[in-house]
Structure formats: C-alpha cells, structure tokens
Amino acid sequence: MINISEIKDLYPFASHFFKIKNYNYHYVDEGKGDQPIVMVHGNPTWSFYYRNLIKEFSKTHRVIAPDHLGCGLSDKPQDFQYRLETHIDNLESLLLSLNLENITLVVHDWGGAIGMGFAVRHPQKISRLIILNSGAFSMDWIPFRIALCRLPWLDDKLVRGANLFVRAAMHMTTVKALPPKVKKGYMLPFQNYNDRIAVLRFVQDIPLAPEHISYEVLLEIEHGLWMFREIPVGIVWGMQDWCFSSRFLDRWKLYYPQAQTLELADAAHLVLEDAPGEAANFIHRILHE
C-alpha cells in the first residue's frame, strides 16, 4: 500500500475503491451535485494531477477522478492487458456504477482517448467537454523522445528499470520547475520495477499503424467525436508542449468549431501545473454557460 501521508496537504482526499475483477481501482469522489465533473488523467500521471481542480470544483460540484489500473493508488497487476480498450472498459464500469448523468468530462494526455472512448459509448451522459493537452484520434508520428522508449530492446530497461519516463516527465513537461514535494507526489506510485508496468504499457499501446491492436479502437473513437458538436467545449492548451503540440490542438478545433480556447504561451504539457489559476477560471466560465 502506498503511503501518501507525506503529500496529504497537497492531496487531502478520501480514497474510494471499485473492484475490476479482483483488482482495486482507485478514485477520488469529492463534493456533491447533479452535474458531476469527471477528470481522466494520462501517462505517467494519476489523479494527483487534478488535485487543484478537485479542491476548487468540489465546492460546487461532485468531482470524480479515477486512477487507471497500474497508476496512482490503483492496483498494479503484472498480468493485466493494459490496452486502450481495457482502460475504457474500466472507466465505463466505474462511471456506470455511480449512475452519473450530465457529466462534464475533463481529459488530459492519454486520458483524452480513454475519456472520449467512454463518451462515444455513452454520448447521452455528456453535457460538456474540457480538453487539456491530449488527443483522441489517429496519428502517424510521435516525438523521438517517446519513440526511444518504444524500442523493443530498450523500452523495459529505460521505462521500468531506470524509471526514465517518469523522471523525465518531472523536468520536460512544464515551463516552471515543479516544487520538490509536487515531484514526490507524481513519483510516489511508481517506486519500483513492478509499479511501472502500466507506464511502459501506455507507451507501447500508442497505435501508429493499422496493424496495432489498439488502432481500430482509436479509430472508432475518432469517428464518434462529431457527436459532441452541439455541446459546450472548452480547450485549455499549454503551447510549449513538445509532445501534444499545436498540431493536436488544430485537430481538436476541426472537430469542435464551437469550442472556446485558452492558449497559454507560458505553459507546457502539464498545463495545470504551469497555469492552475488561469485554467480554473476558464473552466468556471464553461461550466456556467
């Protein structure tokens, strides 16, 4: 069990667990209200990424923020199929069990594909979208730094053995340096080789070609994005993101011409770390439309 007492002042939330097979799927469930906000994280983060938004919006809304299996405070089974489809299945099982309607869906990084995967399956449950640096559509290119971590003879050594992916994320994903305690919070769930299995599987699961096992799943999500052209959409984007660059932002704008966009010149991939106040104020505006 992960001891979060060292970061309790940053992450003061009660833990809730949902059973996925025999595994514990952790989620935060704070606040009350009939217009819930669901926040879906990416790789290599966890619900800790949303801590400031949870604190702010749980004052007026019910906020749910799960940790994907293999991440955060969820179990990290070594024999689980860590694929896009299974992550969507897990999120779907949780959200349906909570009987949520009128969902404002917040997505970041690989949480874009996972969250929109749920949304495409249940469009009637989604009332708003808040899109942070992410994608939910096919692509044929990834940055060299990510590609390096996918090399079959090197990936396990770099990502799981040396913890390079998580360590690099603490330095390459923000404009402002992360405070030591915040770095500790991000790294806490990924202390050893076994803890990092999902981090590697996420990297390996990026579908760049039709023969990849998750390619068709991603394509189905992409083909369903049009269903949300009639609802409010807010896009918050760190413009200095070298991974989810402006080309991803341009794609989102094509899918959602109605979107209001906050483009932050002095923010990078972890946009909620570089500009938490600006992001929160912008989301407040979208919620009150």
Q: Residue 14 has what pLDDT?
A: 97
Cis status of the peptide bond prior to 44, with omega within 30 of 0: yes
Q: Residue 155 has what pLDDT?
A: 87
Q: Residue 3 has what pLDDT?
A: 85
pLDDT in tens, the chain (289 residues): 688 899 999 999 999 999 999 999 999 999 999 999 999 999 999 999 999 999 999 999 999 999 999 999 999 999 999 999 999 999 999 999 999 999 999 999 999 999 999 999 999 999 999 999 999 999 887 887 887 878 888 889 999 999 999 999 999 999 999 999 999 999 999 999 999 999 999 999 999 999 999 999 999 999 999 999 999 999 999 999 999 999 999 999 999 999 999 999 999 999 999 999 999 999 999 998 7
pLDDT tens digits along 120-137: 999 999 999 999 999 999
Q: Residue 139 has what pLDDT?
A: 86
| Bridge pairing between strands 63-66 and 103-109 | unpaired
pLDDT tens digits along 198-243: 999 999 999 999 999 999 999 999 999 999 999 999 999 999 999 9
Q: Residue 1 has what pLDDT?
A: 64
Give the start-to-end residue ranges of the domains of the chain. 13-287
Q: Read off the amino acid at residue 43.
A: N
pTM beyond 0.85: yes
Q: Residue 149 has what pLDDT?
A: 77
Q: Read off the amino acid at residue 81.
A: Q
Q: Residue 183 has what pLDDT?
A: 97
Just give the CATH number of 13-287: 3.40.50.1820
From CA 89, how far away is CA 92, in angstroms rounded? 5
- Tokens linked to 211: 């023969």
End-to-end CA distance of the chain: 42
Handedness of CA 149, 39, 72, 78 (dihedral sign): negative
From CA 105, how far away is CA 143, in angstroms rounded? 27
Rg (C-alpha) for the chain, rounded Å, is: 17
